Structure 1
Amino acid sequence: MTVLLKTLTFSLALTLLFTLVTYLLPQVKGEAPVEKKVDLGSLSMEGFIALGDDIFHNKGTCTLCHKPAPLGRAPDIEGENMVALAAERLADPRYKGEARDAEAYIRESMVDPGKYVVAGWGKKGSNDSESPMPHVDKPPIQLSPMEIDAVIAWLQSKDGNEVTVALPSPEAAAEVAAGASDAGAAGKAPAPAATAEEALAKYACVSCHAMDSKDTLVGPGLVDVGARLDRNELRQSILDPNAVVVEGFPPAMPPDFASKMTVKELEMIIDYLAEKKG
């Protein structure tokens, strides 16, 4: 009888513990942040520039890396005059891209960042021949051509330069608006990730961390993270990324990063990283 009582007590305590842990974890549905609705049919240049500002700071996730020193892991383009800077880079003998003006250079730096890597900002060990920046027109960021144009318009405008990007034509605006309407009607919200690999791509983890090497992208490589951190430490590194910051790296990971995940996605990522032993 005593053994049975102890067993029941232990089981109850364990159940309460798991319940507590569940409440401490982020309890969200996992959909992407709600994007601002824009009336493309009556879009002004001022509205287009404001859209680019919003994309830069939100959907584009640009400020994860492009920050002032010493926190930045990429050039502080928000604090630079990008039109003047583009002219300097186009004149650099190291430049091997195809752009001939500031607009084309900024677009090229977003969709094909490896064309020109700013000195000192290349992937570690590549001698500035490889860029750690993801292509913004591909997953996980996946900006549309119109969104890319909007960001370029904002980068040109913010320092008082002429905006050379054209507004979307009424026909293009109507087509984009219709596509957005159809997607909304069909309920095509991003679904929760089904695997750890999908979750890592969905939340852009692979843009900042190499999963299969110790190479430094924005953050440290995670090929052996499971040998260095236990499950509780892995969980803390996601739930409270600033609690312990790896030496030599600034606290670049957003503190609310885990709040965008479902509990299942978080646990899949922890399971995946725990198996990374090097």
Structure 2
Amino acid sequence: MKTAIVLIVLSVCAVGVALLQIRADGPSLAMAAGDAARGAKLYETLPCASCHDISKPWPGGDICPNLGNIASEATRIIRLREYRGRAKDAAAYIRESIVDPNAYIVPRPNYRQADGQSVMPKNFSETLTPAQLDDLVAFLLTRR
């Protein structure tokens, strides 16, 4: 009986480890809890604030979306039929938008380059640490 219980526990652990190792193509959307205060400072020091206005509602911006209510808009966007990204919640959508800006481009005239790609820089997955991404996402989730 004890052997059977040990085998069951080991099997469950093995499945858990295997699931953690499975990765979809593209950047990971996994997210740990971030610090919104650090994220706010990061938002101001990165080029984010030069394009995105966090005091005005979505979408609205001339060259990119305003982020004043991005948390609620993210929840709406992931339910759209035309959304083709992998996010299942607002936090994952915001993270995806930062690390893979072409996953979903808001349908506005100036939000794409001539080649159809997003005007958003595409290197944040390389220039930001996972902790910085978590902090930035935590901050943007406060924008409701």
Amino acid at match of 1:130: Q
Letter in 2 for 1:73: I
| Equivalent-residue separation in structure 2 for 1:109 and 1:87 (angstroms) | 13
Does residue 92 in structure 1 map to residue 83 in structure 2? no
Q: Residue 114 of structure 1 aligns to a residue in which SS?
A: coil
2:138, 2:80 → 1: CA distance? 24
Could you tell me how far apart the structure 2 residues matched to 1:108 and 1:65 are?
18
> Which one of the candidate residues 134, 138, 142 is aligned to 1:149?
134
Alignment partner of 1:73 out of 48, 59, 63: 63
Contact 1:66 1:72 in 2 (8 A): no
1:123 CA drift (Å) = 1.7
Partner of 2:27: none
Q: Corresponding residue for 1:242? A: none
Deviation for aligned residue 1:122: 3.0
What is the match of residue 64 of structure 1? 50
Match in the other structure for 1:3? none
The number of residues matched between the two structures is: 106
Q: Contact 1:65 / 1:74 at 8 angstroms: preserved in 2?
A: yes
Report SS of the residue matched to 1:51. Answer: helix
Instruction: Name the CA shift for 1:70/1:111 in 2 (closer, same or farther; >3 Å).
Output: closer
**Rounded Cα–Cα distance in structure 1 between residues aligned with 2:106 and 2:81:** 12
Q: TM-score scaled by structure 1? A: 0.35
Alpha-carbon shift at residue 83 of structure 1 (Å): 2.0
Which stretches in structure 1 are left out of the alignment for 5+ residues?
1-44, 160-278
C-alpha RMSD of the superposition: 2.4
What is the CA–CA distance in structure 1 between the aligned matches of 2:82 and 2:40, rounded to whole Å? 30
Q: For the structure 1 residues 72 and 66, does the alpha-carbon distance in structure 2 shift closer, same or farther, using more than 3 Å as the test? A: farther
- After the TM superposition, which segments of 4 or more aligned residues of structure 1 sit over 4 Å from their partners? 68-72
Given the superposition, is the C-alpha separation of residues 71 and 104 from structure 1 closer, same or farther in structure 2, using an over 3 Å criterion? closer
Q: Which runs of 5+ in 2 are unaligned?
A: 1-32
Instruction: Give aligned-pair identity as a percent.
Output: 32
